[in-house]
Structure 1
Amino acid sequence: MSSKEAKVTHIFLKTAHGAPMEPVKSTNAITGEGLQNDVSRGRKRRQVLVVDTHTINEFGLSPGTLRENIILDGQSLSGAQRGTVIKVGNAKLEVTLDCAPCDYLDGIKDGLQDDIEGKRGTLCRVLHGGVITVGDRAIISE
């Protein structure tokens, strides 16, 4: 099993569908549920959206624009395999699938939906709850 290291640079919560992303310094990840106070909490496989800084920078986006919950710096998440575990803070997230680009993205930047295919981010479920804080180290184990 190989592992890579990254660092949490941003955390965002969606408090309501369509509402602006709310930046926070830390959040509670709840086992099998998602992030406390996030609208995606309770979904089975789409609880947390994790994006890397490379993607944000490559497309000239501001943090939170992709409606991501967590941004990691130091490792690309593109192509992360289902079942990959991301230990972040004292929580563990499990990769469930790539986040497919949607029409929302073309409203941000014309052509973004097509351009970002395969790089939108990684959807995860919370395997083990805990606190996740900006600045935390993340260990990605495949």
Structure 2
Amino acid sequence: MGKVLAVCMSPAKGTAKKDVGTAELVENHGLKGDAHAGTWHRQVSLLSHGKIEAFRARGAEVDHGAFGENLVVDDIDFSSLPVGSIFRSGDIVLELTQIGKECHSGCEIFKIMGDCIMPREGVFARVIHGGVISAGDELYVQ
């Protein structure tokens, strides 16, 4: 079990995501109002808080959402889970569809640090069943 620490969104692609605290996850779409939501396999992005903290310890000054993640969760190492893993939070059901993604060429974090954790630590999921998710909610790996 993990705890959701941040719920992040951006209204347009190419802009940083900001922690909004609470958002609605829409079935087969993603976070309502997020620029990256849609009917594809990367509807929601998740990143482990511990991985962000380890990156910060190397000198990176990054806020929640800086890597493009929608959900920051403590106590779950997402990159160690297989594709097909199921996550639950209340009525919400997410299915892990992809581990990592290549950074885009203009990744500011990579330019500054020479590294980015999203390609190896971030994961993506599709929304099987929607609902409202908030910082403080528990997230379970089924």
TM over 0.5: yes
User: Could you tell me how far 1:96 is from its partner in structure 2?
Assistant: 0.1
2:33 corresponds to 1:37: yes
Decide whether the 8 Å contact of 1:90 with 1:129 is kept in 2. Answer: yes
- Structure 1 residues 40-59: aligned runs within 5 Å: 40-59=36-55
Letter in 2 for 1:17: K
Q: Secondary structure at the match of 2:110?
A: helix
2:5 corresponds to 1:9: yes
User: Could you tell me how far 1:88 is from its partner in structure 2?
Assistant: 2.1
Decide whether the 8 Å contact of 2:100 with 2:119 is kept in 1. Answer: no
Letter in 2 for 1:118: R
- Per the alignment, residue 71 of structure 1 pairs with 72
- The aligned length equals 134
TM-score, reference length from structure 2: 0.86
- Structure 1 residues 78-93: aligned runs within 5 Å: 78-93=79-94
Whole-Å separation in 1 of the counterparts to 2:7 and 2:93: 15
- Per the alignment, residue 134 of structure 2 pairs with 133
Q: Which of these residues, 20, 24, 34, is aligned with residue 28 of structure 1?
A: 24
**Worse-superposed segment, 18-27 or 63-72:** 18-27
Runs of 4+ displaced beyond 6 Å: none
RMSD of Structure 2 on Structure 1 (CA): 1.6
User: Could you tell me how far 1:29 is from its partner in structure 2?
Assistant: 0.6
Q: Which runs of 5+ in 1 are unaligned?
A: none
- Per the alignment, residue 110 of structure 1 pairs with 113
Letter in 2 for 1:110: M
Whole-Å separation in 2 of the counterparts to 1:134 and 1:8: 5
Q: Deviations over 1:38-61 (max 9, x none)?
A: 111114101100001111011113
TM-score, reference length from structure 1: 0.86
Change (3 A) 1:106 1:84: same
